[in-house]
Amino acid sequence: MSDIRITNCHTHLFHSGHVPEDYPYPALKPFKKMPWLIKALALSARLAGQASVADKLDRLYRFQQETDEGSQREILDNLQRHYPSNTRFVVLPMDLSAFGFGAPEVPLRDQHDELAQLATDPEVGPSVIPFATIDPRADPNATELWRAIDDLRFRGVKLYPRLGFAPNDPVLMQHVYPRLQDKNLPVMSHCSRGGVQGRHLSDYWADRYTEPEAFIPVMRAFPNLRICLAHFGGQRDWHAYVNPDHSDPLDDTFNRNWLRSIRDLIGSGDHEGLWTDISYTLFQFEDYAPFLRLFLMGEDEESERLRSRVLFGSDYYMTRQEALSEKAVCIRLRNVLGEEIFRQIAEENPAKWLGET
């Protein structure tokens, strides 16, 4: 295979110290403090002939082990084992201080500082592209975000509206997007019906804050801002798209399918700053990879636009809950898409989205 310098545009290195102790349920504290309990349950399930349950518990154990690593560097070391040595990783932190589960042990400022140390480390620094994050309710003047960008030289911003805020929140519209556009820095936003959700936020409002159309007012106000809607709509919406015979009039994934919305928004050519990535979603590889190949290999204008706006990403370490490894998905994807298209989404498109070309 030809030499491709991969940029994984969607990874995480935050750990249990950055997550409130009560999340997602206080009753799970014993499993966090004694992860061997999960292994014991897995063994019991296997002895009882429940192999599928045991496999899920084993994957949960791997995920828990990852979150219990003592530093972002240790998680990065685990991640790098899956990729060629010259691979770069866009690292996306999380601010979980204001979504209803209490304050994490380690504040966001310290999380940013540790990530900045990684990015300047002579050994691993060249592989780390750090992004800052903000929950506008926790940082109404975007003070910490701009400290990370101006002082620590971070390269973009991660948003997670599902925590409980809209993409056109006044804090973001006034204090974040204008300067990002001026500085030519990109935005990555969670765009899946799964993931972390505000404690007191209904599913309806969580979806309204997160859906692709929620960013239309932002794109209209800041047409030169590069925005990536992560996960290409997410696994639930891909499942609905791939299985139309399961259609349920009460299921929003059929009525307002986010995969279809992202394709339409990008394919229309009306939003030049809109991008998407394939993180996590493609870990259901056998089901979805053929569709991605079809979307990206078309010869019409809509397909060409989409092909130029899709980014490779994985969502590590969230993917530790899945059966396939990072390495397996990356190699399979490269094989299915072919060298030319894989190079475009893993090397050429990330360079453009990051503002390097």
The whole-angstrom separation of Cα 214 and Cα 216 is 6
Digitized pLDDT (tens) for each residue of the chain, 357 residues in all:
468 999 999 999 988 888 887 765 555 555 555 555 655 665 676 677 776 554 544 544 554 555 665 789 999 998 999 999 999 999 999 999 999 989 989 999 999 999 999 999 999 999 999 999 999 999 999 999 999 999 999 999 999 999 999 999 999 999 999 999 999 999 999 999 988 899 999 999 999 999 999 999 999 999 999 999 999 999 999 999 999 988 888 899 999 999 999 999 999 999 999 999 999 888 888 999 999 999 999 889 999 999 999 999 998 877 666 667 889 989 999 999 999 999 999 999 999 999 998
Domain limits, the chain: 7-21+71-353
Q: Which helix H or strand E contains 82, and what residues bound it?
A: none
Half-sphere CA count of 110, side-chain side, radius 13 A: 10
pLDDT value for 1: 46
CATH code: domain 7-21+71-353 is: 3.20.20.140
The whole-angstrom separation of Cα 104 and Cα 22 is 9
Q: Compute the C-alpha angle 42/46/48, nearest 5°.
A: 115
Question: Closest Cα partner for 120 from 129, 108, 111, 133?
Answer: 129
What is the DSSP-derived secondary structure letter of residue 8? E
What is the DSSP-derived secondary structure letter of residue 275? E
The whole-angstrom separation of Cα 148 and Cα 155 is 9
pLDDT value for 35: 59
pLDDT value for 144: 98
Residue found by looking up tokens 């003592």 in the block:
70
Q: Which residues on adjacent β-strands are paired with residue 91?
A: 11, 130
pLDDT value for 59: 46
For residue 61, cis peptide bond before it (omega within 30 degrees of 0): no
Torsion of CA 47, 52, 53, 54, to 10 degrees: 50
143's CB contacts (< 8 A; 6+ apart) are none
Pairing state between β 274-277 and 310-311:
parallel
- Measured in degrees and rounded to the nearest 5, phi and psi for residue 115 equal -65, -40
Q: Which residue blocks in 155-195 are alpha helix, DSSP H?
A: 170-175, 177-183
Secondary structure (DSSP) of 115-164: HHHHHT-TTTGGGEEE-EE--TTT-TT-HHHHIIIIIT----EEE-GGGT
Q: 114-130 burial by CB neighbour count: b if 16+ within 10 A, else e?
A: bbbbbbeeeeeeebbbb
The whole-angstrom separation of Cα 8 and Cα 89 is 5
List strands edge to edge, sheet with 7-11. Answer: 7-11, 88-91, 128-130
